[in-house]
Amino acid sequence: MRDKNIIWLYLFLGATLVDLAFLIEGNQASRFFSKPLIILGLIGYFFFITRPIASTLLTKSVLGALIFSWIGDVLLLWPNLFVYGLGSFFLAHVCYIIGFKLAQKQATRIDQVNFVRSFFFNLPVYLAAAFIFYLINPNLGILKIPVIGYILVIVSMVATARDRYNKCIPASFWQVFVGSILFLISDGIIAVDKFYLSFPEAGILIMGTYATAQLLIVMGIRSYLIGEK
C-alpha cells in the first residue's frame, strides 16, 4: 500500500520542481499547469493513506485544509483574485487548527492552561507577524481588514502547532511545527513582496517554503496516526 501511495508524493515533488523551474525562467503562463498539481499530489497521498479512517474529523479537517489550499493556489494565479485566494487560505488555516487540536493527546482544560507561559512561548511569532504588518500596513488600503483577519488566523495556526509539544510523539510535533513556521514565512514573503518591496527572488522563496511547509504538515499528521496505532 505504501509503494502505491508514494506515487502521489512523486507527483508533488515533480510538480514543485517544475513550478520552481518556471519561476526561474519567468514563465508565468506555464505555472497554470504546474502549480495546481503541487497540492493535488498531497491531497491524493493523504486521501489514500487515511481511507480506513476517512470518516474521522481529523482526516476531514486536514483534507479540508489541503483542498482549500489547492483552491487558494489556483485563485492566486490571477492577481485580481488575491482577496479570494486569501479567503481560501484563511479557511485552510481554520481546518489546520482543528486538525492540530485533534492530532494530540486530550486537550488541556481551559482552567489548567498557563496563558502567561503560552504567551511568552509564542511571543517570537507574535512579534514577527506584528513586524510584517507594520511594514505592509501603509499600502494595504481596502485589504487592511482581510489581511488583519488572515494574520490572526495564521498566527493562531502556528500557536496551535506549538501547543502540541509533549502532547504527541516528537516526530509529529516537529514536522507540524516546522511546517507551520515555514507557512508563516512563506506568507510573510508574499506580504512583503506584494505590499512593501517587490524583489526577484520572492517567487522562489515563497513556493519553496510553502511546498515544504505543506509536506511537513502532512507527514507530521501521518506520523501522529502511525504513532497512535
Looking at residue 120, its pLDDT comes to: 78
Looking at residue 121, its pLDDT comes to: 83
HSE toward the beta carbon, residue 1, CA cutoff 13 A: 8
Write down the pTM of the prediction: 0.93
Cell of 62: 486536514
Residues of the chain with pLDDT under 50: 1, 111
Within its chain, how far is the Cα of 101 from the centroid?
15
**Integer Cα distance of 185 and 191 in angstroms:** 10
Looking at residue 60, its pLDDT comes to: 97
Nearest to 218 by CA among 179, 182, 188, 184: 179
Q: Which residues contact 53 (CB under 8 A, 6 or more apart)?
A: 59, 225
Looking at residue 85, its pLDDT comes to: 97
